[in-house]
Amino acid sequence: MSKKIIIAIDGYSSCGKSTLAKALARKLNYNFIDTGAMYRAITLYFIRNNVRLDEPESVTEALKNVNLHFEFNEEKGKSDMFLNDENVEQYIREMTIAQKVSEVAAIKAVRVSAVKQQQLMGKKKGVVMDGRDIGTVVFPNAELKIFMTADIEIRVKRRFLEMQEQNQNVNIEDVISNLQMRDYIDSNREESPLRQAEDARVLNNSDMSQEQQLNLALKWVEEVLSTKKEMAR
């Protein structure tokens, strides 16, 4: 029996999902898949090509021309997102994308296309995937599901610092309103809204260091693996 599992990490924007997912993947020698980057790259394509979001045919046609893949970046210790063979990492983290991505990610055809690719990427297991619907829709049978939360003030501060580090010129009010808007759209959309899977373990990291979060998640991985072993006996 394979010892590799699927680890699904869901939660609101800027809860530290990617940081934990990346650390877990490195420790376990798993692939880290940042599904938000996929929705961001699709959004970039739609903006660049003036795709009308209220025209389903235009969206479907546009999606046929969107090819996404990840390539591991040794320096960063994580994969970069490629859109039609162009490395788009630096563009997809910009505020213009953050302002539009929740709207794009709420479109059914967009989700169907992204979820299909995500399921293929996790087929062989050994993945840590973070997003909004990983434990509920993409991998409802994931062996370990983590639902991350953090106080809003902490999330705002993290996001603001992250954008400053990337030399993005934003003010804190814009960050607050963007997070609130995305929380609202992500949790209230019709198609696979963000929600906690019933069997998810909640990790509120408001008062936790990155090391503490990693240790707790590794403890959960150990528990899952030993239960798996027991059941195989």
Binding site for ligand DC (CB under 6 A): 13, 35-36, 39-40, 101-102, 105, 131-134, 182, 186
Task: Please answer whether residues 216 and 196 qualify as being in contact, where contact means their C-beta atoms are separated by less than 8 angstroms.
Answer: no
- Beta carbon of residue 228, minimum distance to ligand DC (angstroms, whole number): 25
- Beta carbon of residue 229, minimum distance to ligand DC (angstroms, whole number): 30
Nearer to ligand DC, 89 or 133 (CB): 133
- Beta carbon of residue 63, minimum distance to ligand DC (angstroms, whole number): 15
Environment class of residue 99 by beta-carbon count within 10 Å: exposed (0-12), middle (13-18) or buried (19+)?
Answer: middle
Nearer to ligand DC, 40 or 220 (CB): 40
Nearer to ligand DC, 177 or 227 (CB): 177
- Beta carbon of residue 30, minimum distance to ligand DC (angstroms, whole number): 17
- Phi-psi map region of 91: left, alpha, beta (phi>0 left; psi -120 to 50 alpha): alpha
Which residues are CB-contacts of 121 (< 8 A; sequence separation ≥ 6)? Answer: 31, 33, 127, 129
Nearer to ligand DC, 122 or 131 (CB): 131
Nearer to ligand DC, 28 or 40 (CB): 40
Task: Please answer whether residues 138 and 122 qualify as being in contact, where contact means their C-beta atoms are separated by less than 8 angstroms.
Answer: yes
- Phi–psi pair at 209, nearest 5 degrees: -80, 165
Name the nearest CA neighbour of 29 among 99, 117, 128, 101.
Answer: 128
- Beta carbon of residue 92, minimum distance to ligand DC (angstroms, whole number): 8
Name the nearest CA neighbour of 142 among 204, 58, 220, 85.
Answer: 220
- Beta carbon of residue 222, minimum distance to ligand DC (angstroms, whole number): 26
Nearer to ligand DC, 35 or 205 (CB): 35
| Block residue for tokens 């929740």 | 102
Structure tokens at 193: 């809204």
